[in-house]
Amino acid sequence: MKNTISISLLALLILPTIALGQDAAKPLPNAPSSQTTAEGSGDISEIGQRVADPPSSSVAIDPGPVQPAPAIRTGFGFGGKFRYYLTETYFNPSALTAPAFRAGLRMANPPGKGATQYPPEWRQGADAFGRNYGDAFAERVSFQTAKFVTGAITREDPRYIPSSSHNILARSVHALSFSFVDRSDSGHPMPALSNFVGAAAGGFVGNTYLPTGFNDVTHAGQRATLRFGFFAAGNLFREFAPQMPRPMRTFFTLIAR
């Protein structure tokens, strides 16, 4: 578990740095060319003629390109939330790859030590991988299902809203705080109850099948806390993903979505 937490913390530190590097790599706007300057310098009498003869009011003056107004974010109905739940939980490649990645980490660093270590059937061989894979998948489904049901009841919007700031620190704070306070269907801030309920469901579902010594309230609370931390890290990824290189974005999506 310590290695898993370390990996999560490392990802939290790396994502804003990658985004900052991508922003710094963007080319600066081109300076005006000498041709444009030459075209702008005309005969003084011609300039005076233009001033004396203003354009007719019947001629439309183009004020330049008009920026489109930002789209208004509308709330999900029950059908939209259900489709979002299915996509996040089942209908994406990470539904298969993320549990496999976590199962491999668990087998490489099984919880407990000595007499309190995972039993051999959870640590060695293909059967052990299957058990850990099933554990990771069950935790994922429990988290998303409880999150969906709670959000439908409390009218909570499950979607992440990116920050409007360009400051790396402000964006990071926004992403992490959005795990605690998100938005209602009407767009108003509200406590992110669905995230807490989902994390609790993901943490406690293992008590029904995990080996003795790992199916108690203490371990369930630890798993719930870790699940909530993974969700917060996911918000950080969603915030900076547009500035990340595509291969890295795909990699994080497959192992952590």
The pLDDT tens digits for 185-217 are 999 999 999 999 999 999 999 999 999 999 999
Neighbour-count burial of 144, counting CB atoms closer than 10 A to its CB (0-12 exposed, 13-18 middle, 19+ buried)? buried
pLDDT at 33 over 80: no
Cα Rg of the chain, angstroms: 27
pLDDT at 222 over 60: yes
170 pLDDT band, cuts 50/70/90, is very high
Q: Is 163 helix (H, G, I), strand (E, B) or coil?
A: coil
CA dist., res. 155 & res. 131, Å (int): 35
CA dist., res. 148 & res. 84, Å (int): 9
150 pLDDT band, cuts 50/70/90, is very high
CA dist., res. 243 & res. 17, Å (int): 10
Q: What is the mean pLDDT of residues 119-139?
A: 95
Q: What is the mean pLDDT of residues 13-17?
A: 51
Q: What is the mean pLDDT of residues 236-246?
A: 95
pLDDT at 14: 52
H-type alpha helices, 109-216: 125-154, 168-177, 193-204
177 pLDDT band, cuts 50/70/90, is very high
pLDDT at 71 over 70: no
CA dist., res. 160 & res. 236, Å (int): 10
CA dist., res. 5 & res. 182, Å (int): 24
Q: What is the mean pLDDT of residues 227-233?
A: 96
pLDDT at 91 over 80: yes
47 pLDDT band, cuts 50/70/90, is very low
Q: What is the mean pLDDT of residues 144-173?
A: 97
Beta strands per DSSP E along the chain:
156-157, 181-184, 189-191
Q: What is the mean pLDDT of residues 38-50?
A: 43
15 pLDDT band, cuts 50/70/90, is low
Contacts of 179 (CB under 8 A, 6+ apart): 192, 195, 228, 231, 232, 235
Token pair for residue 121? 């059937």
Mean pLDDT of the chain: 80
Q: Is 215 helix (H, G, I), strand (E, B) or coil?
A: coil
pLDDT at 30: 47
Q: Would residue 112 be called left, alpha or beta, if left means φ above 0 and alpha means ψ between -120 and 50 degrees?
A: left
CA dist., res. 184 & res. 250, Å (int): 29
Q: What is the mean pLDDT of residues 8-25?
A: 49
Provide φ and ψ at 161, rounded to 5°.
Answer: -110, 115
pLDDT at 18 over 70: no
Q: What is the mean pLDDT of residues 65-88?
A: 72
Neighbour-count burial of 175, counting CB atoms closer than 10 A to its CB (0-12 exposed, 13-18 middle, 19+ buried)? buried
pTM, whole model, 2 decimals? Answer: 0.73
CA dist., res. 178 & res. 163, Å (int): 10
